Amino acid sequence: MSNLVKLTTYAAKGGCACKLGPHILQSVLTGVEFPTNEAVLVNMQGADDAGVYQLSEDMALVQTVDFFTPIVDDPYLFGQIAAANSLSDVYAMGGTPLTAMNLVGFPVPLVEQGALTAVLQGAMSVLKEAQVVVVGGHSIENETPIFGMSVTGRVKPQQVWRNSGAQVGDVLILTKPLGTGVMSTALKGGLFQAGTDEAIASMRTLNKVACETAKQFTIHACTDVTGFSLLGHSSEMAEGSGVSLVLQTESLPLFTGVIEAAEMGLVPAATYGNRKAITSVAGLDTVKPVWSDICYDPQTSGGLLLAVPAEEGEALLLDLKQAGLTQARNIGQVVTKGDYAVYVK
């Protein structure tokens, strides 16, 4: 199938890089009043990764939806990446995903060639690993291939992770390397094979192990790093928590060749949209220019960004690495709120 179909030729922007820019999205949401009630624990008022709806004293639903255009050519890999990405928001809330429904928009010629079947097969392999069942879906004919899922999970109301609880003194743990946007651009040109292979493997990897490992520690705040970039999601955490974050560029985990690829200009267009929209950032003028491209790079199926007490950071990192997440890193700290949400060093 991968020799017959090259999915990325059907989409100008792939993966989470196809998202509407945060500044555009905000202008849309401002004009809409969304229904809610007292059972809603987490809604659209902040920048959390999923909604949470309380059913009882010790049970709440975590609900999310995610879909995007192809970030790789191979349909099976695309299905795996899309499924892992769709499940990620449940893990980012500290939840356990239970059910999924497929969201499909595909051109009929690709369906007839078997591409959609391969996408679904890839997605199902990831759902089986996550022990998530499929209960339905919806499909439309569409010129640009689109695939994703709506996912429902469970969490105890008292144990919901939000992106707005970071505390001064916390350290910041990132569980996956950065650079999926840069590497997906390199992939289209057949460049940086080692790095693109690493990025594909990372995007296919569930955040399940990261979530389950982190549950053994005190998590003050959590988010997954996706299309709005490390700086975008860090800014949301800082602003929601009433603090500032300091990020250390020399500590950021990267795929092989990301710096070289970014310096060559292999940067997705969404990077520039993120840079335009996410402005409460200081310090980029004090580091090499390439770090701006990397820190604003739109991530697809990225890792969890966790704010944990400093005294627990080293133990959490050790447990994450022993669980197989060898690229997990302490990338910074939470400080008293300053003039900017994020400071880059």
Q: Calculate what percentage of the chain has a pLDDT beyond 90.
A: 84
With cut-offs at 50, 70 and 90, classify the pLDDT of residue 2: very low
Options 3.20.20.70, 3.40.50.10440, 3.30.1330.10, 3.90.1720.10; which CATH number does 7-159 get? 3.30.1330.10
With cut-offs at 50, 70 and 90, classify the pLDDT of residue 312: very high
Q: Which of left, alpha, beta for 137 (phi over 0: left; psi -120 to 50: alpha)?
A: left
pLDDT in tens, 80-136: 999 999 999 999 999 999 999 999 999 999 999 999 999 999 999 999 999 999 999
With cut-offs at 50, 70 and 90, classify the pLDDT of residue 192: very high
Sequence ranges of the domains in the chain: 7-159, 171-344
pLDDT in tens, 21-74: 667 777 777 778 888 899 899 887 777 778 999 999 999 999 999 998 999 999
Q: Which of 122-131, 230-239, 267-276 has the lowest mean pLDDT?
A: 267-276
Which of 16, 18, 211, 295 is labelled catalytic?
Answer: 16
Q: Which of 8-22, 175-189, 272-286, 316-330 has the lowest mean pLDDT?
A: 8-22
pLDDT in tens, 279-303: 999 999 999 999 999 999 999 999 9
Q: Which superfamily does 171-344 belong to?
A: PurM-like C-terminal domain (3.90.650.10)
Any catalytic annotation for residue 16? Answer: yes
130-159: average pLDDT: 96
User: What b/e sequence results for 129-143 when a residue is b if at least 16 CB atoms lie within 10 Å of its CB, and e otherwise?
Assistant: bbebeeeeeeeeeee
pTM of the model: 0.93
Considering the chain, what is the average pLDDT of its residues? 93
Q: Bridge-partner residues for 134, per DSSP?
A: 100
**pLDDT confidence of residue 1:** 43
Q: What six digits make up the tokens of 79?
A: 């299905």
Q: What is the largest CA-CA distance in the chain?
A: 57
